[in-house]
Structure 1
Amino acid sequence: MREKEVFKEKYLTIDEALNLIKTEDVIVTGLGAAEPKEILKNLHKISDRVKDVTVTTCLPLEPAEYYMDARYKDSFKMDGWFFTAPMRKAQRNGNVYLIPNHLHLTAFKRQFHKKTNIYMGTATPPDKHGYLSLSLSNIYEKRVLKEADLVILEINKNYPRTLGDMEIHISDVDYLVETDYEVPTLPDVEPNEKDLIIGKYVAERINDGDCIQLGIGGIPNAVAASLMGKKDLGIHTEMFTTGMMKLVKAGVATGKKKNFNNGKHVAGFALGTKELYDFLDDNPSVMMMDGYWTNDPYVIAQNDNQVSINTTLEVDLTGQCASESLGPFQFSATGGQADTAVGSQMSKNGRSFITLYSTAMVKNKETGEREEISKIVPFLKQGAAVSLSRNDVDMVVTEYGVAELRGTNIKERVERLINIAHPKFREELSKQAKELGILY
C-alpha cells in the first residue's frame, strides 16, 4: 500500500502503542464498535509500570481485562458515558464509574473537567489523499481527537468508509496501528410478542413523511419492523440501526419529505449487523455527523414531524422515567434520551414515545423466588436516577396501550398510567396513589 510507505513512520505495533501510555494519563476511546479493540485487549499488560490511568469510554463492547479484573484497579479505572453488560459486572470492583451526561454534551463537558492526554479509536486505512474515515462513530470522537495531546488509531480495512463529518487527514494522527479483525456487531434480535404489540401502538401514531429516531433494543427494532407500510419516512437519529437500514432498502425511508437535510439520513454513530456496515460503506445518503450537532435538541427540532422512540426501565405514576439504573445500580445511561425527547417535542408536529413492558420478573430477596412486578410504580426505587424528567415525557407505551401525558395534570397522569399498567396491578396502584396523596 503506497500510503503506508509514505507515512511509515506513523505505524506502530500494539506493544509500541502501549509504551506511549504513562501513569495518570487520561485516555478517551471511541464509542461502541469504534473502540480500539486490540489495544484495549492488551492494556492490562502494562499494569506493572503505570498507576491511575483513566480510560473514558462509551458503550464499550470489549470485556477487556484492564477493567474486568479487579487486580488491575490500582493501575486503571474506567469512566463511562454509557454502561454495557461488562461494565455492569465490573462496577462492583470499584474502578468503573458513570459520567452522568446528555449524549450531545459528552465531549464538551468532559473537556471542561479533564484534559485528554490520549485519544484512541478506529478508522479506515488512509486513501490516496491521506484521508481516513472514523467509520462508525462521531458522537464525540472528532471533537476529542482535536484536543488530545496524542492520537492513536487502529486502522482496519474491514471498517466501512462512512461519509458526512467523518474524514480526518493523516497529518492530524500521531500513530497508526494496523489491525484486521472483523468489525464488532450487534445481533439483529427478533422482536417478541410484547415488542410487536408495542411497536404496533407506536407505528399507528407515525405518519407518512415523519422523521424518526430509534433507540437501542427489542422494542425499537419492533417499531422499525412495524413501519414497513409507511411512505417517505426521514431519519435523524443518534444511532443508525439495522432496522433503519431495512427501512431504507425497502424504500420506506427516503428522506424526501424532510425539510432539513432533505434526502439524507442523519446519524451520530452506527451499530448493528455486517449487512448494515456494508450498506454504510461509501453511501452518500447517510450523513454521519458530530453528536454535539446531531443530538442538539435545537438541531433536532429543525426537522418538522420529528418522532423519537426510546425505552425505559421504570416509570412512576407522575411520569418520571428511570431509564438507566435499577435503584442505585447503574445499568446503562441517559444517553441521548433527553436530547431526542425534548428536541422532538420542540419540532413542528413532533412527538416523543417512551416504551417499556408493563412488568418484569425479578428475584424476591426474602424468598429467592422470581416474581412478577409492575414497571409502572407509585415512586421510583430508592436511589434510581431520573433519566427523563416528568416535564419532558410525552407518550408512554406498554403492551396495554398508550398514555398521552403532554399537558396533563398529576391526577390525569396517574389515571392514564394506571390504565396501561398490567391489569393485575391496577387496583393496588390506585390504592397506593391515594395513600401517597397524588390521587384523591
Structure 2
Amino acid sequence: MDWKELYESRTCTAEEAVQKIKSHDRVVLAHSVSEPYELVDAMVANAENYENVTVSQMVSLGKGEYTKAKYKGNFRYEGWFTSACTRECLAEGHGQFVPVYFHDVPRYIRTGIFPVDVAMVTLSTPDRNGFCSIGASCDFTWQAIKSAKVVLAEINDQAPVIYGETFVHVSEVDAFVETSRPLPELKLPEICEVEKAIGKNCASLIEDGATLQLGIGAIPDAVLSQLKDKKHLGIHSEMISDGVVDLYEAGVIDNSQKSIDKGKITVTFLMGTKKLYDFADRNPALEMKPVDYVNDPVVISQCSKMVCINSCLQVDFLGQVVSDTIGTRQFSGVGGQVDFVRGAAMSLDEQGKAIIAMPSIVKKKDGSMMSKIVPFIEKGAVVTTNRHDVDYIVTEYGIARMKGQTMQDRARALIGIAHPEFREELKEEFEKRFNTTF
C-alpha cells in the first residue's frame, strides 16, 4: 500500500484513537512540549472504559488530569519525573515515582523493565517519503515508538522538523489524529542581580572552546548572558533554551572545537519559546539524538572541555546535593544531573567540570529566609549527587571546590559562599559537627 493510502486509512479522531487503549495497559506519553494534548484529553474523557491503566512520563506541561484522585480506579500514574501538574498524586498516595537516570530510560524500555503497550506522541506532518519528525522530543520518545505494541500519534502541522535520529515512518504508527496548535512556550525567566552574580561566577570557570550542558531557567540564562566574550563554544546538552540561540547567532557558539559531533548543537529535547523551535526547525546546525546517547556518561566523557551546569535545592556541609526532593516530598526527579556530573568527571581530556549553581537562600511564603547551605540535609530528603561526585558549588557569593577537599575544608568553603546572614550560625554548627574551631 502507498504510504499516503496507509496514512489516510489510519487517520481518525482522537476519540476513536484512544479506543485502542485497553484496561491494564501501560501508556507512555511523549516528553515535555511534545505531549499529545488532544489524545490525552480524549483518553481522560474515555476514563470510564478503563481499569488500572498505567500512565508513565517525565516532564509534563499539560493538565495532568489522569493523576486526579477521581480517576484513581481508571489511571495509575507511575512517573519517572514529576511536574507541577503530576506531583500531587504522589503526596496523596495514589501515584508512584520511579527513580531512574534519564539516560537509562530507553534501555529500560527496550529490555522490558518499562514495558510499553501504547505510546502517545506528537509528530510533524509526513514528508514526501512518508516520514514524520518526532519534533521537539527525542529522548525516550523515539524508543517508546519503536518498542510500543500500539503507537497513537497527534500529527501537528506546527511541530518542528528536527534533524538527527528523529524520523518515524507512517507505517510504524497505528492511528493518526490531525491537529494544528502551537507548541507550549515557557515564559522567559526574569534575571535578577542574584542570578547575574551566579552567572558571572559560573562563566569564570568556562574557557574558550568549552563544550556546555545547561538546563533551563534564570541561572542557565544568566550564565549564557555572561559568555558573550567567549570563543568557539560548543553544546552537548540534554536540552537548550533561547539563550543558546542568541549566542549561536552572535558567533560565540560555533561547535568548531567539539571533539564529537563537531559543528553540531547536540540535544535530546527542546523546551523554550517559539524562537527556539523556529531556530531548530530544519536547521542542519542542530541534531537531536536519543537520551541514551546524549546523556550517556561514557559519551559525555568524550566531549572536550566539558562543563555541565545544574541546580539544586540544598547542599550540606559534606557536599551532598539534594535536587529532587523537599524533605519526604518528591518535587521533580534526577533528570540528567548525575549523568552529566559523572560524564564530566570521566572526561578523557581530564578537563571536565561539573557545576551545581544555586542562590544562597530561598524565601519562604511568610517572607523569611532559609539557607540552602545547611549542616544536615532535611529529614527524609534524598541525595541526588553524592559527596564523591560533587565538584563545584556556586552561589552569588562565590565558588567552592569540593573535589580533593576534606570534610572540614568543604564545610569551610561552603560557609564562605553562604548568605552572610547565616554564616555565623553555620560556623557554630561547624564547630559542633567537627569538634574544632572554624
TM-score per shorter chain, which class? Answer: over 0.9
Cross-structure match for 1:341: 341
Cross-structure match for 1:39: 39
Matched, 1:240 2:237: no
CA distance in 2, matches of 1:75, 1:438: 56
| One-letter amino acid of the counterpart of residue 398, structure 2 | G
| One-letter amino acid of the counterpart of residue 263, structure 1 | G
Cross-structure match for 1:14: 14
Cross-structure match for 1:188: 188
SS at match of 2:205: coil
Counting only pairs closer than 5 Å after superposition, residues 259-274 of structure 1 correspond to structure 2 as: 259-274=259-274
SS at match of 1:254: coil
Cross-structure match for 1:98: 97
* Percent of paired sites with the same residue: 38
Q: Which runs of 5+ in 1 are unaligned?
A: 364-368
Q: Which runs of 5+ in 2 are unaligned?
A: none
Matched, 1:424 2:424: no
Counting only pairs closer than 5 Å after superposition, residues 279-358 of structure 1 correspond to structure 2 as: 279-347=279-347, 348=349, 349-358=351-360
Cross-structure match for 2:403: 406
Cα contact 1:216–1:310 (8 A) shared by 2? no
SS at match of 1:195: helix
- Divergent runs of 4+, >4 A: 2-6
Shift of the 145–438 alpha-carbon distance from structure 1 to 2, 3 Å rule, reads farther
Counting only pairs closer than 5 Å after superposition, residues 5-404 of structure 1 correspond to structure 2 as: 5=5, 7-67=7-67, 69-110=68-109, 111-347=111-347, 348=349, 349-363=351-365, 369-404=366-401
| One-letter amino acid of the counterpart of residue 345, structure 2 | Q
TM-superposed CA distance for 1:112, in Å, is 3.5
Cα contact 2:122–2:156 (8 A) shared by 1? yes
- C-alpha offsets along residues 288-343 of structure 1, whole Å, 9 cap, x if unaligned? 00100110011011111010000000000100000011011111111000001111
CA distance in 2, matches of 1:85, 1:438: 42
Cα contact 1:199–1:223 (8 A) shared by 2? yes
CA distance in 2, matches of 1:326, 1:439: 30
CA distance in 2, matches of 1:22, 1:28: 13
User: Normalising by structure 2, what TM-score?
Assistant: 0.96
Cross-structure match for 2:433: 436
CA distance in 1, matches of 2:378, 2:308: 26
- C-alpha offsets along residues 54-95 of structure 1, whole Å, 9 cap, x if unaligned? 11011011013222x321111112122221111233433433
CA distance in 2, matches of 1:101, 1:184: 26
CA distance in 2, matches of 1:216, 1:438: 40
| One-letter amino acid of the counterpart of residue 43, structure 1 | M
CA root-mean-square deviation: 1.5
CA distance in 1, matches of 2:362, 2:381: 16
Shift of the 272–438 alpha-carbon distance from structure 1 to 2, 3 Å rule, reads farther
SS at match of 1:391: coil
| One-letter amino acid of the counterpart of residue 41, structure 2 | K
CA distance in 2, matches of 1:370, 1:203: 30
User: Normalising by structure 1, what TM-score?
Assistant: 0.95
- C-alpha offsets along residues 385-433 of structure 1, whole Å, 9 cap, x if unaligned? 1111111111000111000111111111011011011112112112212
Shift of the 184–3 alpha-carbon distance from structure 1 to 2, 3 Å rule, reads farther
Aligned length: 433
